[in-house]
Structure 1
Amino acid sequence: MALASAPEYQGALGSALSVNSSYDEVLAKATEQQQRSLLEYARAGLAIAEANRRLGRVEAAERAWRESYRAARRAGDSGAMAWALWSGGTLARQCGRLALARRWLSAAAALAERGGDRVARGYALAGLAETGRIQGDYAAVTELHEQLLAEARKYGEARHIVWALEGIAQMHRNTGAYDTALAMFEEAAEIARNADDARGHAWALRGVADVVSVRGGTRQALVLLSEAEAVCRSMRLDSALAYNHKMQGNVLFRAGRYEEAEEAYAGALEEFRAIREPRGEALSRLGLVKSRSRMGAPDAQIGAELDELEATFERIGLHHAREMVIAFRDGMAP
């Protein structure tokens, strides 16, 4: 299988950048490339939007994808328009605006199909699938995940294979099919490593650590997360790093190490706030509440915080997370 590619780096940027390029390098080369032509302006704007999104610079990412879309529209390039909308939809999901994410991603898929850009269509559909998955709508998106995995395997697109495997594995993990989830996370980690996809490898290691932890392998899980953390830091993957730290909290919580878990969740919470990612922020808050409950915080205080979190998850549209709140509150009942 070929090395992982980054199709969001298009035109001349495609040969100048790799999936593991630093975001500082992406921003520098893309800004320079914007001077070339209208279409190159659109393509470079996409790269700038994605680099800023992954660094948590929401306003800069929003400006860049919109400028990319407008330039692509003036150039009459449906594919470039689709990629810009994909970036906008991905940013909207990251910011917890899930209905808007579905709107932009659906429009991206339609434009990509009209323009004959198979990869852009696949990424847009993947974005829709992931949006449904993080909401907990597994029945609605499982088939789409499987379809996208089959397409990625057919074309040998390592990065997309890794994404699809991780998404399907997460659904299996959340429904208790741990053997299947572990096998798929491990396959994703191996493919990502062989394809030199550092970001995909870090996310896959996080998934492996999660399942290993559920089965009692605390030490192994923390080692895996430390390995993934080093990748996140070296590539400045701020969002992935925050989710890594939240997972460290999960692992420590399951092991009954509540004070350490509280510290990990608190750190993750600050990181999510810094990059303005409300989903991760709310999940970290849930971890903090659960840890404090186990350390003896008053039930009335914990109950009030859980009520607030349930309303937050309901507002964002995170059905699975809301169910976790309800399950924990039910477990507190005498």
Structure 2
Amino acid sequence: MQIGPYQLDNNLMLAPMAGVTDRPFRQLCRRMGAGLVVSEMLSSNPKVWNTAKSMHRMDHSGEEGIRSVQIAGADPELMAQAARFNVDNGAQIVDINMGCPAKKVNKKLAGSALLQYPDLVESIVKAVVAAVDVPVTLKIRTGWNTDNRNGVDIAQIAEQNGIQSLAVHGRTRACMYKGYAEYDTIRKIKAAISIPVIANGDITSAQKARDVLDYTGADGVMIGRGAQGNPWIFKQIQHFLETGETLEAPPLSEQHQVLHEHVANVHAFYGDISGVRIARKHVGWYLAEHDKERQFRKTFNSIEQADLQLDALDDYFQALQKRETRQISPAA
């Protein structure tokens, strides 16, 4: 798959998720097989660019692969300014956020709230495309509620004004993340435009990715929540698409290694205080299947020191592996 001059390794993408797709997680998913990873959304308001949160979101130092940065806002000129700022800061692709359903974003008329105003959508797209010499992509939802699924119209506006790839989450703004994603609208969008279309929403397994690609005709899939605590989903999907064979989850030893490395990188990126806090949610996602009673997570979330977090994870996985060994032992 190609976006502008960039040839992707495959058609599997990590969705931009605020508070999740920071540099440590992007780089992990990249190593695990994602063909493109997209940053957390960055506000187009220049007043917040120097805050600690924005500085971390704009940190691409040492980052491998194509750097795609998502921007959010409702003012065409500020969006154009944000696009130029991020390209100067290393962005190779600029992605426009018109998909976020969060109230704090939508009340500023940004994110998926923009889908109610096609003329403003067009103005923003034109301004951003004209502002930079890198490919501009767009992420949308199917519409703003189930009675107003105008995704096809928005997609055509995007294509006509220079957008080079379109990701579509199969829910409306009103749906938030409730219920199930629908792919009929994505299928209609793919039939209506010629630029690459990326299907997003509820893709949590290799088989689901295959089914969505087949049904919609989309050029690729974008994985969001399905990658939280499960970065190897990209390897699993790629293997299934290439061979038709299911690739099982990695052994506990590999899961331990990946999680330990991820948490250590979070500590290094944010510092011991913020890193300890941010690591907690990632550990919760990784261990959702192993720690169903949430006993370990309660203990882990009370730990305030980075080195003690890593020690606790090591002890936990050693205990898991011993239990697994006893369960498969002939003596057992």
TM-score (norm 2): 0.34
Which structure features the higher share of helix residues?
1
